[in-house]
Amino acid sequence: MTTYAAPPGQASGSTSSDPVPTATATPTPPALPAHLAGATADEATLRRFLSGLPAVDPVGLEQRSATLATRSIKKASKLAAIDLAISMVDLTTLEGADTPGKVRNLSRKALAPDPGGPSTGSGNVCPRVAAVCVYPDRVATAADALAGSGVKVASVATAFPSGRSSLEVKLADTRLAIESGADEIDMVIDRGAFLAGQYGLVLEQIRAVKAECEGRARLKVILETGELATYDNVRRACWIALLGGGDFLKTSTGKVNPAATLPIVQVLLQAVRDWRDQTGQQVAVKPAGGIRTTKDAVRHLVAVNEVAGPEWLDPHWFRFGASSLLDDLVLQRRAQLDGHYADPDTVALD
């Protein structure tokens, strides 16, 4: 039996919100190459693996981000880029005041982001978004509104946004969302455990949630990068999520600043690129929080193409967690088609 020991500085008998997990508690992810499978043998081995990851060069990372931010695309390609970005949006509402009516209205917007725009017969109809993201108790409403449309229902889970609860509560949260009709689960990692050096605990919780999702929903692992302090920590969290079987790496809850910055997104893109190189498995990326304009979205698409590769330029492999972004994309789309900016009052702004 493999047991994850307490991290340095914490006695093995100390208490926490969850017991120290064992490898027999949850299923292991799909078979990995030997050097990666062995990395999770025990806490000490996992810590050595994570410590051995190449250090992030912050100066080089931020300089490249500044360069990427200056890139532009040709006018002829801009409409295609806007349409691609719209099709990648996870249209989100995560507020205490979310009512069934608000979720139904959001779902209608997901299906027709620009209802006053070009008609279907024009060939320039606005694409639908990728998903609608809500709390677990609003999943059934979204699933009913989106049934048969192809737009996915995503749900946050695992004591979002803090992640501060027992594993049992987190799994119940996940089950509620899936049984209510969620196609995708956006879980949060336990940042307190991560920052305390309890990497094995973080890994096992991801594996446990993945087991709940297996065959029923794709799993997005929210790192909450704004709380991880360093780029090296973000890289380590990425690899824990990958080793745990995450289907997406997601930057943030949108409740903490900074959220999805271009340097942070680059770190995630590098991780999934390297993961595919080593395993042959492609994993998606979702920046969330702080991406509000078409210019921001296009910069991220350029980064996706240049850092991970063109294979990720697809809604299955890259998403934007956003609400206000869609409004600006629709306005810019109208400008491309009409040759002038539309009156914002003619667009269904939130």
pLDDT band with cut points at 50, 70 and 90 for residue 71 = confident
- pLDDT for 117: 77
Can you list the alpha helix ranges (DSSP code H) found in 112-166?
A: 139-146
Q: pLDDT (tens digit, 9 = 90+) per residue, 205-250? A: 999 999 999 999 999 999 999 999 999 999 999 999 999 999 999 9
Cβ(155)–Cβ(185) below 8 Å: yes
∠ CA 210-212-217 to the nearest 5 degrees? 75
- pLDDT for 25: 42
Give yes or no for residue 75 having a pLDDT over 80: no
Torsion sign (Cα): 327, 109, 87, 135: positive
With CA atoms as reference, report the closest residue to 307 among 246, 264, 278. Answer: 264
With CA atoms as reference, report the closest residue to 134 among 117, 119, 152. Answer: 152
- CA–CA dist 208, 190 (Å, integer): 13
Give yes or no for residue 10 having a pLDDT over 60: no
CA of residue 303 relative to chain centroid, distance: 16
- Whether 250 is catalytic is yes
Q: Region 285-309: what's the mean pLDDT? A: 95
| Block residue for tokens 């990958």 | 242
pLDDT band with cut points at 50, 70 and 90 for residue 279 = very high
- pLDDT for 348: 57
The continuous run of DSSP H or E covering 271 comes out as helix 262-279
Spell out the domains of the chain, with CATH numbers in brackets: 34-113+125-338 (3.20.20.70)
Give this prediction's pTM: 0.88
Active-site choice (170, 210, 220, 286)? 286
Q: Region 255-273: what's the mean pLDDT? A: 95
Cβ(216)–Cβ(251) below 8 Å: no
| Block residue for tokens 């499978």 | 37
Give yes or no for residue 30 having a pLDDT over 60: no
Q: Region 38-44: what's the mean pLDDT? A: 94
Q: Region 96-121: what's the mean pLDDT? A: 89
Q: pLDDT (tens digit, 9 = 90+) per residue, 149-200? A: 999 999 999 999 999 999 999 999 999 999 999 999 999 999 999 999 999 9
Give yes or no for residue 121 having a pLDDT over 70: no
Active-site choice (173, 183, 186, 190)? 186
Tokens representing 232? 């090296």
Q: What is the mean pLDDT of the chain?
A: 89
Cβ(260)–Cβ(224) below 8 Å: no
- Going by their DSSP bridges, the two strands 184-188 and 218-222 should be labelled as parallel
The one-letter amino acid code at 72 reads S
Q: Region 270-295: what's the mean pLDDT? A: 96
- Whether 286 is catalytic is yes
pLDDT band with cut points at 50, 70 and 90 for residue 88 = very high
Lowest mean pLDDT among 65-69, 272-276, 302-306, 325-329: 65-69
